[in-house]
Structure 1
Amino acid sequence: MPTKFALVTGCGQGGIGEALVKEYSRRGVHAIATVLPGEASGHLLDAGITFFRLDVTIEKSVLDLKASVEKLTNGRLDILVNCAGIAYTMTAIDTDVVAVQRMFDINVFGPMRMVHHFHGMIIRSTGTIVNIGSIGGIIPYLYGASYNATKAALQHWSNTLRVEMAPFSVKVITTISGEVSTNILKNDAHRKLPEEEFHRHVTRTPQGATNRFKYAENVVAQSLKSSPPAWFWYGSFTGMIRFLDTFGWRTVWDSMLWRMFNLGKLKQAHTLRMSKDAALGN
């Protein structure tokens, strides 16, 4: 059998991408990783994994990667996994729009750039595209309005991409990821709001999160199937969320998230403040 090639973006140490390339390599696939310019790469060197530098927000960087991969693979690519992504943790009304524009450029426009430039190689191999989505694109998870929006956009774009690529026998998998233990929140720990609940959330170690290597094992297995599912739900809480999203009413999450994030405390504080303002004639 000829060697299969799998390209995974966003393979910095401690993330899902690193776990994915290591799993592809374990299964005998020639894994190709990308890391940011200047980002540490020792974890990939130690594992003997081919890697290139890539910034998915820069067109030239994507084109340079394409040239390198074409040379390595003789112009074909069996699997493309769009994994590069960042988080932005903040309430919707306190959003820094410039920061969110950058997140959209990575989380949404990054996969678009990759598919735009690599689709010919994937069609040549009748390959597979995997887009890493999230339960955040399904439920109104608090403090994640902007991140959730990027994942909802990616998931719907991926859905349409699947239909458009079917005539070329290219498979597209949208992975709806549950809570997976990674270091994605490391760059958000400095963000602050007065509520202590926010601080606990942004610095938390997720309880019950799926091990990222176990997650990678399952995602890779799906991507190697001849007939993979259109949406692959995997990770902590995805079973419950899939059920409620299918059979529940649109506001089924509201009361659950109200309790989870102690919104009663915020409501009480707001009511008290309004009463004081009224007493002062403000």
Structure 2
Amino acid sequence: MSKKQPKFALITGCGQGGIGEALAKEYVRHDVVPIATVLPTESTEHLAEVGIVSFPLDVTIEESVVALKENVIRLTGGHLDFLVNNAGVCYTMTAIDTDVEEVKKMFDVNVFGPMRMVHHFHQLLIDSGGTIMNIGSIGGIIPYVYGSSYNASKAALHHWSSTLRVEMAPFSVKVLTIISGEVGTNFLKTDRHRTLPKESYFSPLAEEFEEHVRRVPCTKSAAKKSPEQKC
């Protein structure tokens, strides 16, 4: 009797305390072998201690994606069932005070990152009749204040993903866009020290802006930990 082929899921952005880590652990519970990726500078202890295989990846660097593909092929024999494009970053700023260079960096992760991943991994997914999952955001559908650039990056991802869905259908590859709301993660950590420019027209709201970037995502679990938090 032949051994059953295990299912493999490749998940980007599995740093500690994020959606990627939670998804990797959930795949384990459903008998799918997760392959997690973290930035080369990030710790992998939170994954190793629960037996999850991980590789370094920077989705903004072509060579890093190519190296990951080689590692995945060696690990799985060229089999891949799920690709989860989860890696993402946030940039919080008023639209008129936006630093375009910062926005370019964000788009390189949030939009061009998934494009690079699909470009290099599509053959494995076609061979298995697999599934691509792109982690979007409610901000790409219902824009929120101070998030114009982030909202735009997720709207771009949504539209690209919708087109990809149509184009991959003939190859029996499913494409899903996950529209997430606020999730109790450390996603906002890189924005917590951001402040408005002193000359900004919004400077009278500087204190409110800083409270916004330091906020804890408003979820049921967060409310249980901090009952005083208003959701």
Quote how far apart the aligned CAs of 1:98 are. 0.6
Counterparts in 2 of 1:54-69, with a 5 A limit? Answer: 54-69=57-72
1:202-260 CA-to-partner distances (Å, cap 9, x unmatched) read 0011223578xxxxxxxxxxxxxxxxxxxxxxxxxxxxxxxxxxxxxxxxxxxxxxxxx
CA RMSD of aligned residues (A): 1.1
Counterpart of 2:40, as a letter, is P
What residue in structure 1 maps to residue 172 of structure 2? 169
Counterpart of 2:158, as a letter, is Q
Any runs of at least 4 consecutive aligned residues in structure 1 with deviations exceeding 2 A, and if so which? 206-211
Conservation of the 8 A alpha-carbon contact between 2:185 and 2:217: no
Counterpart of 2:218, as a letter, is Q
> Unpaired runs of 5+ in structure 2?
197-202, 223-231
Match status 1:94 vs 2:97: yes
Match of 1:203 among 203, 210, 214: 214
Conservation of the 8 A alpha-carbon contact between 1:180 and 1:209: no
What residue in structure 2 maps to residue 245 of structure 1? none
SS at match of 1:177: coil
What residue in structure 1 maps to residue 51 of structure 2? 48
CA–CA distance in structure 1, aligned partners of residues 183 and 135 of structure 2: 12
More helix by share: 1
Conservation of the 8 A alpha-carbon contact between 1:34 and 1:53: yes
What residue in structure 1 maps to residue 85 of structure 2? 82
Give the structure-1-normalised TM-score: 0.73
Quote how far apart the aligned CAs of 1:60 are. 0.4
CA–CA distance in structure 2, aligned partners of residues 144 and 79 of structure 1: 30
Gap change, CA 1:179 and 1:70, over 3 Å in 2: same
CA–CA distance in structure 1, aligned partners of residues 64 and 99 of structure 2: 26
CA–CA distance in structure 2, aligned partners of residues 147 and 39 of structure 1: 23
Structure possessing the higher radius of gyration over alpha carbons = 1
1:156-213 CA-to-partner distances (Å, cap 9, x unmatched) read 00000000000000000011111111111111011113322211110011223578xx
Give the structure-2-normalised TM-score: 0.89
Conservation of the 8 A alpha-carbon contact between 1:189 and 1:202: yes
SS at match of 1:81: strand
Identity among equivalent pairs (%): 68
Counterpart of 1:42, as a letter, is E
What residue in structure 2 maps to residue 6 of structure 1? 9
